[in-house]
Amino acid sequence: MLPPRSDLVRDLAEWLPRQRWFGGKDGPIDELSIGTATELRSGDPALHHLILDVRQNGATDHYQLLLGVRRELPDRLRHVEIGGGSGGAEACLYDAAHDPDLTRTLLDALADEASIGPLRFHRVDGARIRTDLASLPITTEQSNTSLLFGDAYICKLFRRLSNGVNLDLEVNLALTRRGCAHVPSVHGWIELEPDEPGAEPVTLGLLSDYLHTGAEGWSLAIASVRDWFAYPLPPGDEWAELDASGAGGDFAAEAERLGAATAQVHRALADAFGVTTVPAEEVRAMAARMNAELTATCRAVPGLAPHAKALTGAFLDLAARAAPMPVQRVHGDYHLGQVLRTESGWALLDFEGEPARAESERRALAHPLRDVAGMLRSFEYAARFLITKAGTVPTESGPHLETRAHAWAARNRAAFCRGYAAAGGADPAAHSVLMHAFEFEKAVYEVRYEARNRPAWLPVPLTSLAHLTA
């Protein structure tokens, strides 16, 4: 039994800001209310689905919570308790996403295509969903919570909800229906019926294949860089022609395969959603926005100023050569942490776009080379990650390590672009003006982000810019 709503709201307002996935940590909660409350399971333990309406700074965000209720809370769930027993001796409240005794309810509802209050559980045509699996939450995520059901499924629960159909569901479902081999197949999804007639349902969760044999691209790349940094090099002045292919953990072949997989997904996205051409005037406006962001970031981060002339030149060059440009659905937040190498090839994950951007920006169409630029920036980051971590690389002078990093990034950038073009993607070498603009735009974003959130990482984008603008 739930406590009085006033007590529950008070406890939730205290608990919510401490959660990693809460997006309003920069200010106090002005008001919290419960938009919907749906009982999914009665008894002990009980499961309730809540939508929390959180008002901050004049705007209201909506968060999803699976609320568990038990008479006695086992030790394994103490870390997700809410309110310290506000329901009195008869009720302990907690985040039930961490309780495998309750999360199996989601599989049952998806398999049955149930409708419970305003919640709708959908199963993809032809999919058969097992209901005998226990869940384990992935604890490393920030903005969402994903549950692993055995080695069969991963269920992503969207914590901070977007209006309408979530991009990740929309894109993955379309690619699944087209038989795209480079995304995990979707088996079902959960949505909230809208209050207003004609409005789109709100996506709450997404059930898809769990690629249990997959290794994250970022981890594989870092292992390659570590091997390269440990590889003995000849003495003298041969650093200028350094070839990163000599180390045993060379990543270039995988980078080339990843480029090919990326091109194939871009082609599938174009087939599923179509391609539009924007006029030259819109390209010039895009270049102007890039330059405006550069100016603002230079004011906030003086270390970017030495590169401003070269970056501005790239943006002006794009504006001067502007021509009608094809745009389509793309990944939107593409980097090595968004791809998995499985036994059958590379898979792309998380098509939500950059979480810090507005919904309209994340849904905006773009040239596919914007994703290519994002991955090239990720190679720059992987190359320099170990340099920022004291004690993780052999003792060597800074310039030598940076030379090694540059050589590794250059080799894998070239391999990725080669694979992308060979598989039918737009050849980055033939679109150098557009590529420079996209990559420099991403680098400016990185500088701004690192200065605000991880100052120790600021040398990574700045050092790579020194090479790219030379």
pLDDT score at 382: 95
Question: What is the separation of C-alpha 239 from the centre of its chain, rounded to a whole number of angstroms?
Answer: 36
Does residue 433 contact residue 284 with C-beta atoms inside 8 Å?
no
What tokens does 150 get?
């055995």
Q: Higher confidence at residue 24 or residue 289? A: 289
pLDDT of residue 360: 84
The pTM is what?
0.87
- pLDDT at position 392 is 53
Tokens for 13, please give them. Answer: 């307002």
Query: Which alpha helices (H) appear in 113-216, and where do they start and end?
Result: 167-177
* DSSP summary character for residue 328: B
- Is residue 244's pLDDT more than 90? no
Weakest mean pLDDT among 78-87, 94-103, 222-231, 258-267: 78-87
Spell 12-21 as b/e; 16+ CB within 10 A means b.
bbebbeebeb
pLDDT at 442 over 70: yes
pLDDT digits (tens, 9 = 90+) for 105-163: 999 999 999 999 999 999 999 899 999 999 999 877 678 999 999 999 999 999 999 88
Let me know: does 421 contact 427? Beta carbons within 8 Å. Answer: yes
Instruction: Give mean pLDDT, residues 86-93.
Output: 67
Burial class (CB in 10 A: 0-12, 13-18, 19+), 284: middle
Question: For 18-39, how does the pLDDT look when each residue is reduced to its tens digit (9 = 90+)?
Answer: 998 998 877 899 999 999 999 9
- What is the average pLDDT value for the chain, to the nearest integer? 91
End-to-end alpha carbon distance in the chain: 66
pLDDT number for residue 78 = 95
Could you read off the pLDDT of 171-209 as tens digits, one per residue? 999 999 999 999 999 999 999 998 888 889 999 999 999
89 confidence band (pLDDT: 50, 70, 90): low
pLDDT in the model for residue 236: 60
- Residue 397 has what pLDDT? 45
Phi first, then psi, for residue 20 (nearest 5°) are -60, -30
What is the distance between the alpha carbons of residues 12 and 84, in angstroms, rounded to a whole number? 11
Residue indicated by tokens 């590889």? 231
Token pair listed for 65: 């919570």
The pLDDT of 53-82, averaged and rounded, is 95
**What's residue 184's pLDDT?**
95
Lowest-confidence pick of 53-67, 316-330, 379-393: 379-393
Q: How confident is the model at residue 238 (pLDDT cuts 50, 70, 90)?
A: low
pLDDT of residue 399: 58
pLDDT at 81 exceeding the cut of 50: yes
pLDDT at site 84: 65
Continuous segment of H or E residues that includes residue 340 = strand 339-342
From the number of C-beta atoms within 10 Å of its C-beta (0-12, 13-18, 19+), residue 253 rates as exposed
